[in-house]
């Protein structure tokens, strides 16, 4: 996703020129981006070194699902063989209620695309319930066939999963996650749009108790608003966030740090 070709690798001690160009041409396996599909760049002519494999022509320049315009952003995922979660959000639900999580998916070029919806403990990421568990889905390879996989390529298709929250108030703070559910080298590139969590009357299994802390007992991020000037271009985005309901207590480094920013690997 770039409009340039590196004649010399920016960091030759770590990557070659070919690898550097590969990294900017497309979204690598196991990674995602939020972008309007029309802006996903692919080379329309041969690369200077003749390497054309990573031209990225399989990324369809489509309209988003929400309003069928070509300028709305979607979640663009290159699943590959990595069963990562690519969406995760903490929610506070009502005890004893049933909820449905749904999203629209578009397999770009092929339909080796599937999703596992998960309810998780917000701090440990322990899986409390999932669509895979409820539906007995265990085969995650590209030759599998189950109801959480897309039926067709190049077409928006909605998938959903319903679950019930325990009657205990201490079990109602959870995280909702979407995870890549197909192990495939090809045909596992897809878009996600319109992720919705709503109350439902569907019959559903009760998820395990999260035993998660209340939202205010963990780090709570608040919206940020900055004005960029020519003299001040650095901002502390955690300056208005709280930890245990206290401002200025979030520590990112040192022996007493209470949070770590890192790449999700599971």
Residues 198 and 234: their CA atoms lie apart, in Å, by: 38
| Domain positions in the chain | 17-199, 219-266
Per-10-residue mean pLDDT of the chain, 266 residues long, equals 60 66 68 83 57 65 86 90 92 95 95 96 91 96 90 96 94 94 91 96 95 64 71 72 72 66 45
pLDDT of residue 40: 75
pLDDT of residue 174: 92
Q: What is the pTM of this model?
A: 0.74
Q: Are 211 and 171 in contact (CB under 8 A)?
A: yes
pLDDT of residue 29: 80
CATH no. of 17-199 = 2.60.120
Give the C-alpha distances (Å, rounded to integers) separating 233 from 176, 221, 238.
34, 21, 16
Residues 18 and 52: their CA atoms lie apart, in Å, by: 11
Q: Are 243 and 258 in contact (CB under 8 A)?
A: yes
pLDDT of residue 265: 41
pLDDT of residue 1: 41
Q: Are 204 and 128 in contact (CB under 8 A)?
A: no
- How many C-beta atoms surround the C-beta of residue 23 within 10 A? 17
pLDDT of residue 22: 60
């Amino acid at each position: 996703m770039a409009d340039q070709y590196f004649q010399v690798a920016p960091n030759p001690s770590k990557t070659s020129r070919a690898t550097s160009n590969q990294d900017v041409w497309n979204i690598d396996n196991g990674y995602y981006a939020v972008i309007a599909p029309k802006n996903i760049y692919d080379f329309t002519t041969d690369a200077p070194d003749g390497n054309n494999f990573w031209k990225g022509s399989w990324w369809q320049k489509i309209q988003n699902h929400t309003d069928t315009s070509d300028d709305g952003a979607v979640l663009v995922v290159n699943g590959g063989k990595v069963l990562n979660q690519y969406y995760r959000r903490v929610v506070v639900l009502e005890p004893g209620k049933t909820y449905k999580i749904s999203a629209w998916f578009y397999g770009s070029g092929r339909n080796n695309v599937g999703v596992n919806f998960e309810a998780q403990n917000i701090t440990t990421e322990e899986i409390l319930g999932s669509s895979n568990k409820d539906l007995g889905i265990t085969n995650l390879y590209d030759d599998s066939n189950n109801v959480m996989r897309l039926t067709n390529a190049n077409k928006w298709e909605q998938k959903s999963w319903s679950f019930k929250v325990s009657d205990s108030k201490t079990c109602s703070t959870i995280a909702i996650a979407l995870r890549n559910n197909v192990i495939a080298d090809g045909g596992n590139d897809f878009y996600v749009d319109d992720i919705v969590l709503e109350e439902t009357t569907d019959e559903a299994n009760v998820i395990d108790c999260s035993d998660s802390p209340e939202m205010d007992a963990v780090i709570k991020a608040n919206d940020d608003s900055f004005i960029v000037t020519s003299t001040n271009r650095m901002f502390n985005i955690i300056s208005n966030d709280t930890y245990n309901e206290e401002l200025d207590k979030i520590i990112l480094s040192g022996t007493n740090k209470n949070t770590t920013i890192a790449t999700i690997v599971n």
